[in-house]
Amino acid sequence: MGDADLKRIFDAVVLSPSSFNIQPWQFVVIRDQARKIELRQLSFGQAQVEEAAAVVLICGRLDAYADAERIYRDSDAATRDKYLPMILSAYKDQPAQQREEAIRCGSLAAMSLMYAAKAIGWDSGPMIGFDVTKVGALLQLDANTVPVMMVVIGKALRGEQPPRGYRRPVAEVVRLESLAGERLC
């Protein structure tokens, strides 16, 4: 997987939505075969980690709120005056909220990554089965960066794509107006 395809994918990924537009994601792309072998060992031996063209570790930045001044720099004064205090109130000295938001927004970015990869002919799969602490150490994550998930990117082999497993029907998972409301049929 070359840089040109990665750039096309990430040009789309960085447009993912995030709360207050703070964009708390960070991505580490692993293509080096020796590094993928190490990652496989830290991922319970899952073969797709080693066999993928690229492995992307989606991370969330706990301190992303600190970028708000820069992100809103070109906004009008009314917008800055409205949002900057809200952002600080929501995240400063709020470690649980920082972590939740990093994971929530990182997950949105991961989905965008999978769709963007598919749009240019790559297959992908999300993974949470890995040793978070050891992968963080291997990839030199700092204390303000949390692993959200890995996404493996490659080309599925013909005939090796298993049929999609059971999916709950829409009528079972969608309710109208409240959880006790009518089912969407």
Q: Cα(159)–Cα(48) distance, rounded to whole angstroms?
A: 16
Model confidence at 158, pLDDT cuts 50, 70, 90, reads confident
| Topology (CATH) of 3-173 | NADH Oxidase (3.40.109)
Q: What are the backbone angles phi and psi of residue 166, rounded to the nearest 5°?
A: -55, 135
Element (H, E) at 94: none
Asked whether 150 and 56 are in contact (CB, 8 A), the reply is: yes
Tell me what pLDDT residue 156 has.
Answer: 86
The amino acid occupying position 69 is: E
| Model pLDDT for residues 94-114, shown as the tens digit of each residue | 999 999 999 999 999 999 999
| Model pLDDT for residues 108-135, shown as the tens digit of each residue | 999 999 999 999 999 999 999 999 999 9
| Model pLDDT for residues 37-91, shown as the tens digit of each residue | 999 999 999 999 999 999 999 999 999 999 999 999 999 999 999 999 999 999 9
Instruction: Kindly report the pTM of this predicted structure.
Output: 0.91
